[in-house]
Structure formats: structure tokens, C-alpha cells
Amino acid sequence: MKFWSFLVLGLVVLAVSSCARVEQDQVNEWIDQYLEEKGLDFVEKSLETIVERRMAERGQQRPPTLQERLANRVEVSVGPSATKGPDNAPITLVEFSDFGCGFCGRAIPTLKELEKLYEGRIRFVFKHLPMTFAELSTPAHIAAMAAQEQGKFWEFHAKAFANQRALNEENIQKWAQEIGLDMARFERDRKKPEFAQRLEQNQAFARANGVNGTPAFFVNGVLIMGAQPVEEFQKVIDAILRGRETKVPD
């Protein structure tokens, strides 16, 4: 009875909302009476109707199944983005990330685990998408692209994510020196207009493909939103590697 009490409590409260105060025993009595009069089938249908109405009001639909996600992939261009792993790897994981995003930082251990689990079979691609505190993290993203010009992107990437609350100019200069960049070239490269254009292109892609937050990942074109557990990535990756996508249970 307790389980159903929770489910119907909201419906009962609507009927007693004008009361200033009621005792718990009285509420339980109302719940039992409501269930006895209406029956569980009525309650279930009422709850389903409420949920469907709320979802319709919000323009929401049920989450797509794994089969549907695999069948509706998005083409993501690697372009000039930094990569790690074999170019011919059967799996390409494209990450849209923000140095200032705490959830992006939390995803790093998951990505490292995937790198070990699928060693030699996965390529990582990093796409800059400053969103959370864009005005604070954008200079660090520009600096990372400048570091990439000298083959030091992943070193700068590590510095930025290890110091997410300190993405200031002083530290950017410090990290550039610590990873051994030619500082004169670094300063010149930071001014390249194509870096800002790259950010704009990433933002446009994100808007067009339902990415409204970071981190966001595309595994061979299959979207995975948020800092999901490694099992969520494995489910998609293993389905692709097996080549039996439509037979994989959701």
C-alpha cells in the first residue's frame, strides 16, 4: 500500500489543498479510501495521462532506443581538431567540451578508461565548446589551439582541466611555459582569427544537432549527452564493433 500511497498522494492532495493542516493518519485514510473507490487501474491511467500531458506541454518525447540512435547518426567532421589514437580506428569519439565545465572534468576518468578498454580501436577528437562560463574559459580554449600548433594540445588540455577554477591569463602563460612552448610563436598564434571562427562553427554545429550543454559526445555519430558512466559508452561502442546494431537490446 505504501508504494501506491506515494503514487496517488499528489492526486489526493489536489482534493485537500484548501485545508491549512491535516494529520498524517487522516491523509492515509483518504488515500486508502481513494484507492478503494477508484481502483488501481483508474489511478494508473490517471498518472499516465498526467505524464503524457506534461511531456506534450514541454515538447518532450520518450528517449530514443539504442537501435534508433544507431540508425540516426550525425556526421561530425574532424577537421583541424586535436586527435589522439589511430586515424584508422573503427571507433571515433568526438567530444564537445568546455574547460570551465565541471561535468566535463568529471568525464575525463571515463575517457581514460575507454582508452584502455579499446586500446588501438578508438580515436578521440576534441571540439572546443565554451558554454558554462564562456567569457572565462574562451581564452584558455584559444590558447589550447595555439598550443596545438606546436604539437602540445593534450599537454595544455591536462593543465586546463587540472585547474578549472583558475583559467586566467597568468596561469595560461605559466602553463604554456611549463609544457615547453615557444612563447613568441604562442602569442602570435593566439591572435589567429581562425581560432575564434572554429569556436563559432562548433557552436553552430551544437545548436543544429541538439547539443545544449557540455560535455557531449558523438561515438561514430551516435550522440551521448553528459558525463555518463563508462557502461553507457560501452553499450554503443560494442554494438558498433559487433556490427549487429539492430539486434542489440536497449
Average per-residue pLDDT for the chain: 84
Domain identity same for 136 and 203: yes
Instruction: Give the per-residue pLDDT at 63.
Output: 80
pLDDT tier, 226 (very low <50, low <70, confident <90, very high otherwise): very high
Domain identity same for 139 and 218: yes
Q: Write down how long the chain is.
A: 250
Checking if the pLDDT of 113 tops 70, the result is yes
Whole domain around residue 170: which residue ranges? Answer: 66-247
Distance of CA 111 to the CA centre of its chain: 13
The arithmetic mean of pLDDT across residues 218-245, rounded, is 92
Distance of CA 249 to the CA centre of its chain: 22
Domain identity same for 26 and 126: no
The arithmetic mean of pLDDT across residues 22-48, rounded, is 58
Checking if the pLDDT of 109 tops 60, the result is yes
Instruction: Give the per-residue pLDDT at 209.
Output: 95
Instruction: Give the per-residue pLDDT at 116.
Output: 98
What's the domain count of the chain? 2
d(C-alpha 70, C-alpha 221), whole Å: 8
